[in-house]
A and B are shown apart, each in its own frame.
Chain A
Amino acid sequence: MFDIAIIGGGVIGGMLARQLSRYQLSVCLLEKESDVAMGATKANSGIVHGGYDPEPGTLKAKLNAEGVQKLYDVADEIHAPYRKNGSFVCAFGTPEEEATVRALYERGLVNGIKGLEILTGDEARALEPALSDKVSLVLHVTNAGIVCPYELTLAAIGNAMDNGVALKVEFAVSAIERTQKGFAVIAESGARVEAAYVVNCAGAYADRIAAMVGDDFFTIIPRAGEYMLLDKNEGARVSHTIFQVPSAEGKGVLVSPTVDGNLLTGPTAVKVGAPDHTETTPAGLETVARLAAKSVPSVNFRQVITSFSGVRASEKRGDFIIEPARSVQGMLHVAAIDSPGLTSCVAIADYAIELLREMGLATVEKADFNPVRENPHAFREMSDEEKDAYIKAHPAYGKIVCRCETVSEGEIRDAIRRNPPARDIDGVKRRTRSGMGRCQGGFCMPYVMRLIAEENGVAMERVTKKGADSYQLIGKL
C-alpha cells in the first residue's frame, strides 16, 4: 500500500515523483514501457519557453511564468543539462506577421514575462548571422532556454528513487478499482499496486486512464510532430532557438541548438489516430526541411543523423487540465500537458501537490531529503588531467565504447547501475549518448549489448532495443 501511485513516467509524472519525494510519503511511479521518458517526453523540442505565448489567465500562462525559474533551479539540483540561450520569434516581412510579433510582446508583458525585446531584422542578424535576410522583425526572449527533456526526466526520477520512490516499469495500467482505503491499480500483466491517492500523468493516454474511473470530461487529441536532428557539425549554425510566427502552415517549426551540441529542426503538427503513431513520413520530413530553411537557409540537411516523431497530448480547450477526478475521490488528473508542459513541469508538479493537499494529503517534510543528484556527466566534463587521474583509479573509463560521442565503458556501466537503471540499448543511449552520434550505434551497439548482458547476468540474445519484443538477435549461430 502506497500513499500515492503516479501513472506515467514522463517528465510530468517524473517531476511530480521528485517533488513528492521530499515529504514523508510512500510513492510509486508506474510506467508502461521498459524505461521512463518514453512518450512525448523523449520526442519534443526541448525548449524552455519564455511564457509570452499562452493566453493570459490560463493555467498555461500562470504555470509557464512560474515554471521557467523553477525548472532552472531544479535542473541545477539534479544536474540536468540546460542552457539559457534565448529565443527569437521571427516575422518575414508581412504586416500581419510583424503585428503578431508585437502582439506576442504585449501578451508577454501581460503574462509578467521579463527580458522581452523587439529587434529589427538587422539587429537580429547581428546576433544571429545565419538568420534569413527575409526576417524583418523579431521578438527576442532572453529568459528562454533549451533543456534535454529525457535527461531532465531521468534525473528527476533518479533523484526521486534515491529519495525512496518506487519505480515499476512494464506496468501498463488496464484497470483502476476502488478499495476501502483508496485504489488498486492493475496492470495488463496482472500486477497490482494499491495506493490511497492516484495521479494520472499518462500523457497521450490520460483520457483512457480517466475513463477507467468513469471520467470522460476530456479527450486527448494526439498530435504528431516530426523532427530531424543534425550532426554536431551543424550545431553552431545558430545559438538562439529560432521560431517563426504562427502561420497558415502551422506554428512553430524551429531551428535550435541542443544542449548536446546538435542542431534540431521541427516539428510538424499533424493530428494522428492514436498516441503511438510515431512514424515519420516523407511529407513530414520534407515540411520540416522546407520551413526550417525559411528561417535559416544555410542549414545543411545532408548532415541529418536521425529523424523522429513524438505525439503531443493536446485537448480542445487548449489549456492544461489539472484537476481532481469528477467520478471518484482521491484521484487527480494532470492531463493535456502539451507545450509549454516541459517548461512548466516543476510548476505543474508543485501545483498538483497543492491540489493533493486540498484533497486531504498530508505533506510533512523529510529530514533526510537529498535534493541533489550526482552529475552523471561529471567524467566527460573533466579536464584531461582530471580524466587521467580518474582513469588511473577507474580503468573502465579509459575504454571508449562509443567513438562518435566519446562514451566510455565506465559511463555505460554506471548508467546500467544507477537510478533509474538502463535496461536496454535505447536506455543506455538516452543516459550516456552512446549510439546517439553520427554513426547511430553502428559501431558501439554490439559492445553496449555485451555490457547490458553482463551487468544484468542475461544472455546477449535477451538484450533488447527498447524492451518487450524489440529483440536484436534471434540466437547463436
Chain B
Amino acid sequence: MITHDIVVVGGGPAGMAAAVAAYDAGVTDVVILDREDSVGGILRQCIHNGFGLHKLGRELTGPEYADVYRAEVEKRGIKVYLETTVTAVTPDRVVTARNREGILKIKAGAVVLAMGCRERSRGALNISGTRPAGVYSAGTAQKLINCEGYMVGRRVVILGSGDIGLIMARRMSFEGAKVEAVLEIMPYSGGLTRNIVQCLEDYDIPLYLSTTVAEIHGRERVTGVTIAEVDERRQVKEETKRYIPCDTVLLSCGLIPENELTRAAGIPIDPVTSGALVDENRETAVPGIFACGNVLQVHDLVDYVSDEAEIAGLGAADFVKGVGPAGNTVETKAGHGVRYVLPQRVHTDKGADVALFMRVTEPFGRVRFTVKSGDAVLATAVRLKAAPGEMEKIVVKNEKLAAATAPITVSLEVL
C-alpha cells in the first residue's frame, strides 16, 4: 500500500482540473489514475469545435481543450497513472486499481471521483426488433470514426437529438454518409440550439420530434428501421409507423453517470441526477470523497465541468489540510418547474457565496427563479428562456445563506 494526499479517479477534463486546482491550493501530492492510454477522456474523440468559449475565452476542439489541461498537469509534475483502471474505492479511502504492472493499492487523504458518464444503450432503451450489427451508441461510432479512422455505415438514422447525436449527424454527413433523419422521442430537442442549427439545418437533415424507433430490422446487418410518432405517454401511435431503409442506427438517448465505484463505496446517490449527493464543495456523504464532472451530473459544456472540478479539487485540498467546512447544513430542494438542484446540501456558515446549479423540467419562455429558505427569499433570477438542455446557475450571497435554517427550495414562475 502506498499513500498520496489526493487520488483523482479519471483523467478527463474533470479529473485534470480537480488535480490542478488541488495542487495550486498547496496539496502537491496529487495523482491521477486513468484507464486509457492518454489523458483527456471523451474529449479525445470530440474533434469538433465549440469548447472553451466560457472557460478559456477561445474556441477550441475537444483534443485542444484537453491539451490545455494536460499541459497544466505536466507543468506541475502531477503523476498520472495511465492504462490504470480503478476497481474499488472504500469509505476509508483505499483506492484499488489495476494496470500491466499489477494491483495498486493507494491510501488516499482525499479522493476525487471523476469517472465521467456512459451512453444509454439499446438494451436500456428497450427497442424491439432484431439484434444485427450496425446499431451503435453515437459515442462509439464517434470513437471508431475519429480515433480509429473507420467509417461505420452509409445510410444512417439517429435516435436522440442530444448533442452527441447532432454532432454525429454532421460528422457522418462529412464522411459521405446519408443521414436520413434524427428522431427525438420528446416534443423538444435536448441538444444545444447552436448544434441544431449547425449540425442539422445546415445539412438539410430532418429532425422529427415526438418520434422514435419502434423496431430495428435486419438479421446480420441493419436493413432498416420502423419509426413512429409517440403520444404524450411516449407510446407508439400504430397508424404513424413507417419504414426507413438504412444500414446504421446511432443512439444518442442520454448519458448516465458511471457511479458503480461510488455505489460500491456506499456513497448515497441522488435518484434524479444519478450522481452522488454532495455539498457545496462537492464532498459526498462519505467524508473525504469528492465528485465532479459528468460522474456527478451530466453537463452541457466542458467549460462548466472544469469549473465544477476546481470546486471539488479545492474542497479535497481543504479536507487534506483539515480546514473543510463544518457547522450547519441545510438541504436544497427542487420546487415547481425545477428538476434538480445541485449541491444537494449547503453549509450555511461557509463565509462565501454559493452557486446553485439546476435544470428545469421542460422548456419555458421567460421565467423567474426564486431561491427560498422558509419564507426568506435568498436570491432571484430572471431568464428570457429556460430549457432542460441548458443548465442554470444562481448564486446565493454569503450573508443571505448565513440566515438560512430551513431547506432551500428553488422554484420558477413563468412571466
Contacts and interface: CB of A to CB of B under 8 A. Distances in A.
B129 A474 contact: no
B403 interface: no
Given A279-B130, A403-B85, A474-B154, A460 B121 contact: no
B128 A281 contact: yes
A477 interface: yes
Given A391-B103, A403-B35, A446-B140, A440 B121 contact: yes
Given A395-B100, A439-B121, A468-B220, A282 B214 contact: yes
Interface in B109-158: 118-119, 121-124, 126, 128-134, 137, 139-140, 143-145, 147-154
Given A279-B215, A392-B101, A438-B118, A474 B128 contact: no
A282 B236 contact: yes
Nearest to A467: B220
B140 A474 contact: no
A454 to B, nearest CB: 13
B102 interface: yes
Contacts of B105: 384
Contacts of A388: 102-103
Nearest to B115: A403
A254 B133 CA distance: 29
B175 A477 contact: yes
Interface centre among A278, A395, A466, A477 (most CB of B within 10 A): A477
Contact of A398 (B99, B150, B219): B99
Given A279-B129, A400-B35, A400-B85, A469 B220 contact: yes
Contacts of A372: none
A61 interface: no
Contact of B150 (A233, A443, A476): A476
B98 interface: yes
B139 A307 contact: no
Contacts of A281: 128
A450 B150 CA distance: 12
Contacts of A467: 220
Nearest to B98: A398
Q: How large is the interface on B (under 10, 10 to 19, 20 to 34, 35 or more residues)?
A: 35 or more
Interface in A447-465: 450, 460-461, 464-465
A473 B150 contact: yes
Given A391-B103, A445-B140, A477 B122 contact: no
A360 interface: no
B220 to A, nearest CB: 4
A442 interface: yes
Interface string B23-66: 00000000000010000000000000000000000000000000
Interface in B366-411: none
Contacts of B299: none
A445 B220 CA distance: 17
Interface string B56-97: 000000000000000000000000000101010000000010
A327 interface: no
A444 B100 CA distance: 17
Nearest to A233: B263
B221 interface: yes
B137 A442 contact: yes
A306 interface: yes
A440 B123 contact: yes
Contacts of B145: 477
B121 A442 contact: yes
B372 to A, nearest CB: 32
A465 B133 CA distance: 6
Contacts of A398: 98-102
A307 B126 contact: yes
Contacts of A460: 148, 150
Would you call the interface of chain A mostly helix, strand, loop, or mixed?
mixed
A247 interface: no
Contact of B118 (A389, A406, A439): A439
A473 B121 contact: no
A474 B172 CA distance: 13
A470 interface: yes
A276 interface: yes
A279 B152 contact: no
Contacts of B139: 442
Contacts of A387: 98, 102-103
Nearest to B134: A472
Contacts of A408: 98
Contacts of B103: 384-385, 387-388, 391
A20 interface: no
Contacts of A400: 35, 85, 87, 98
A282 B220 contact: no
A475 B102 contact: no
A280 interface: yes
Nearest to B219: A276
A308 interface: yes
A282 B214 CA distance: 8
Contact of A395 (B101, B131, B143, B260): B101
A391 B132 contact: no
A157 to B, nearest CB: 23
Nearest to B248: A474
Contact of B124 (A305, A403, A441, A450): A305
Contacts of A472: 133-134, 144, 152
A397 to B, nearest CB: 8
A229 B123 contact: yes
A450 B149 CA distance: 12
Interface string A307-344: 11000000000000000000000000000000000000
B69 to A, nearest CB: 21
B144 A446 contact: yes
A304 interface: yes
A313 to B, nearest CB: 19
A446 B143 contact: yes
A213 B118 CA distance: 53
Contacts of B153: 474
A309 B126 CA distance: 12
Contacts of B132: 465, 470
A399 B82 CA distance: 10
B236 A473 contact: no
A406 B221 CA distance: 28
B150 A475 contact: yes
Contacts of B102: 387-389, 391-392, 398
A11 interface: no
A396 interface: yes
Nearest to B83: A399
Contact of A466 (B100, B144, B150, B220): B220
Given A282-B236, A470-B133, A473-B152, A391 B121 contact: no
A470 B220 contact: yes
A228 interface: yes
A456 B73 CA distance: 39
Contacts of A384: 96, 103, 105
Interface string B223-236: 00000000000001
A446 B45 CA distance: 13
10 contacts: A233-B263, A279-B130, A282-B236, A306-B121, A308-B131, A388-B102, A440-B122, A472-B134, A472-B144, A476-B150
Interface of B: 35, 83, 85, 87, 96, 98-103, 105, 118-119, 121-124, 126, 128-134, 137, 139-140, 143-145, 147-154, 175, 214-215, 219-221, 236, 247, 258, 260, 263
Given A387-B103, A388-B102, A465-B132, 14 more contacts: A278-B131, A279-B215, A305-B124, A398-B102, A438-B260, A440-B121, A441-B140, A446-B147, A446-B148, A465-B133, A466-B133, A469-B221, A476-B150, A476-B151
Q: List the 3 closest pairs (A to B, CB-CB), nearest first.
A: A306-B123, A465-B133, A440-B121
